[in-house]
Structure 1
Amino acid sequence: MSFVWLASYPKSGNTWMRLMLQSLMQGGEPVDLSRPITPGLPLRSRDTLGRLLGADCGELSAEEIDRLRPWTYIKAAGLLPGPSFHKTHERWRRTAWNEPILPPEASCGAVYILRDPRDIALSLAHYTAVTVDEAIAVMADADHTLAEAGDRYCVLYRQPLGTWSQHVLSWLEDADPPPLVLRYEDMIDDPLAALTGVCAHIGLTAPAAALRAATRSCAFDVLRRAEQDHGFTEAVPGRAFFRRGLAGGWRDTLSPAQRQRIEDDHRAVMSRFGYLPPSR
């Protein structure tokens, strides 16, 4: 079969949607946060590449891994019993050999989750233990990359993000297959409609009762309590992953100067998706 890519800039609601989908696959039952959300091959690691190649990949450079990654996904997709949901924070891009890093041959759909960058700055600062000003700078850094700890011996693949604006546009203008665009703010307003829309986009049929149960099982306050009681495998130790689950929290937290910096950095894309009035 193949993969459904759940893509977003970090701290945009990707994990929340994955949990709703996982709950839906379980008929709407709560998800155990102490276990991995998506079981199976960890597609972002050198170990997986080595297992599929039958070779040690520890000394491959980032460029060599980029060359192999499309093949990795095609090979892994052939081992799947059905569609598999996988998150990515990487911007959509091509390798130096002009191949899509996430090949359409291994993909049966994509969803891009979009969030107001003013709220992302606050959530990112909390989650990565940096200042809000540092988070704002990261979101404006065209060279920002995850897992960039040297080309060799890093467990995870290098994942270029670019700026928040570059990230959004890479998925919305270049990605193949084109994704469903889902705003985090709309997920908060109507999670049932958001989940139903995702299922329709990827061709997943589910009973209405299961859809309703999945959104109830993954309500933000339910997830927050579950994390407090049992922990969460994807959380940074000592910091809550499910913190507030609000839209517009920037209004009473960002300083005027911080807000202005974000808006100046990303005005065109923010205007395009309703976070600012249209540019004149």
Structure 2
Amino acid sequence: MAVANSYVILNGKVEGCKSKTSWSPGDPLPWTANICQGVPFNIAIKYERCKEIPDFKTKADDVFIVTYPKSGTTWMQQIVKCLQTKGYPETVEKTVGELNPWFEEMEQKDADAMTSPRIFKSHSPYHMAAKGNTPDSKCKYLHVVRNPKDVCVSQYYHYKGFWEYEYTGEFPEFCDLFIHGQVECGSWFDFVMSWYTCSEEVLHITYEDLKARPAEVIPKVANFLGLECNDTIVGLTIEKSSFSKMKTDAKSNMTWMNDLRHAGAVPFMRKGKVGDWRGHFTEEQSQRLDAVFQEKSSAEMRIAFWGKDIAQTLEAVQGDADQESESPS
């Protein structure tokens, strides 16, 4: 078994080093994290930043692309960029990360300096997110949801690729961490339910639906953002947000972060497949996650996201997409 050597920063204070051969509930985390308000975050997210987010002055035309990590964040950022440029994202020099920056990682002054309309990327659960408290500061949220089993697999490779996590475990251990909500941004189930049950103006999009029916979903995104949309723009957006196109696009493939990655690691844009979890989960692991999914999500949410109550099994979370189809994570 791999040996984990990492540390946790709990509310701004380092909580010692750990070294053990496998993780069990109640053990310290086997990866390097910042713990803010009880939620594990990437070490790029500082405790001080988490504290100041609730005081951020949102504007009525602000939009937050809200996702649990590895749910199609970069894909949606590219779709938004395509819509903003009427299908010609190559005319903009900025990367998707510069156009729609990671809100929790930004300095407050940089967020304040952005010109409106501002579009941010965010990985905060609802209770920790920036939100307006007056009618003229109520903003919008674009929430992308993905089958948690595919999220788990994608997040595992994400941890193995970036050296800052200092994670050396294998998938069985990581699956346990994910099921128990001990990965970046905490419990997938709590995160998703927090956004589903909130009273803000939220457009919920599933990764699977976006893959299966992009010509139907993309106009909904454009309308939500107040952007022009027609068949030509939709066609160009589908083409230029495809996995194959983005993988070779230096402004959307995240290669600018290669200096934070282990040499020889799998690419940031690895597969983006619907149903890739089948090649990683054992039957026992799959049933355990299904049980937590049934326990911690509501039938109303399941029907709203996937069109049916899939409480018994996540096998049904496919949309109409071929399970070998590819989309960016």
TM-score normalised by L of structure 1: 0.70
Equivalent of residue 82 in structure 1, options 81, 91, 116: 116
Deviation larger for 128-137 or 248-257: 128-137
**Deviations along 1:13-58, whole A, 9 cap, x unmatched?**
0110111111222231245898353338763246x23x47xxxxxx
The change in CA–CA distance for 1:134 and 1:215 in structure 2 (over 3 A counts) is: same
User: What residue is the counterpart of 1:277 in the other structure?
Assistant: 310
**What CA distance in whole angstroms lies between the structure 2 residues aligned with 1:131 and 1:246?**
20
Q: Distance in 2 between matches of 1:3 and 1:19?
A: 18
Q: Which residue of 2 aligns with 1:44?
A: 104
In percent, how many aligned pairs have the same letter?
20
Matched position secondary structure for 1:179: strand
Is the contact made by 1:112 and 1:181 (CA closer than 8 Å) also made in structure 2? yes
Structure 1: 5+ residue runs without aligned partners? 53-72, 95-99, 147-160
Structure 2 residue matching 1:209: 3-state secondary structure: helix
Local SS of the residue matching 1:44:
helix
Task: Count how many residue pairs are aligned between Structure 1 and Structure 2.
Answer: 233
Determine whether 1:169 maps to 2:193.
yes
Unaligned segments of structure 2, at least 5 residues: 1-58, 161-168, 313-329
What residue in structure 2 maps to residue 232 of structure 1?
A: 255
Q: Is the 8 A contact 1:18 1:85 kept in 2?
A: no
Cα gap change, 1:135 to 1:84, in 2 (>3 Å): farther
2:150 matches 1:119: yes
- Whether the aligned pair in 2 keeps the contact of 1:187 and 1:194 (CA below 8 Å) is yes
Q: Say if 1:120 and 1:41 are closer, same or farther in 2 by CA, change over 3 A.
A: closer
Task: Evaluate the alpha carbon distance shift between residue 248 and residue 120 of structure 1 in structure 2; reply closer, same or farther with a 3 A threshold.
Answer: same
Q: Contact 1:19 / 1:37 at 8 angstroms: preserved in 2?
A: no
Are 1:13 and 2:44 counterparts? no
| Preserved contact between residue 3 and residue 83 of structure 1 (Cα < 8 Å) | yes
- For 1:153, the equivalent position in structure 2 comes to none
Calculate the TM-score normalised by the size of structure 2.
0.61
Structure 1 residue 170: Cα displacement: 0.6
RCO higher in structure (CA 8 A, sep ≥6): 1
- Deviation at residue 245 of structure 1 after TM alignment: 1.9
Partner of 2:17: none
Give, in whole Å, the separation in 1 of the partners of 2:225 and 2:232.
19
Are the aligned partners of 2:82 and 2:88 in contact in 1 as well (CA < 8 Å)?
Answer: yes
Q: How far apart, CA to CA, are the structure 2 residues paired with 1:223 and 1:209?
A: 19
Secondary structure of 2:151's match?
Answer: helix
C-alpha distance in structure 1 between counterparts of 2:87 and 2:148, whole Å: 31
Provide the residue aligned with 1:135 in structure 2: 174
Whether the 8 Å CA contact 1:22–1:37 is kept in 2: the answer is no
SS for the counterpart of 2:204 is: strand
Whether contact under 8 Å (1:116, 1:270) holds in the other structure is no
Q: Given the alignment, which residue of 197, 212, 215 partners 2:220?
A: 197
Q: CA deviation at 1:125?
A: 0.7
2:232 match: 209
Aligned pair partner of 2:207 in 156, 161, 184? 184
Correspondence 1:25 to 2:103 = no
Partner SS, residue 38 of structure 1: helix
* Root mean square deviation of aligned Cα: 3.3
The answer to whether the 8 A contact 2:99-2:119 is kept is no
1:69-100 CA-partner distances (Å, limit 9, x unpaired): xxxx7xx2xx5543222111110005xxxxx6
Residue type of the partner of 2:156? A
Equivalent position SS for 1:233 = helix
1:30 and 1:134, CA in 2 relative to 1: closer, same or farther beyond 3 A? farther
For residues 125 and 230 of structure 1, what CA distance do their matches in structure 2 show? 18
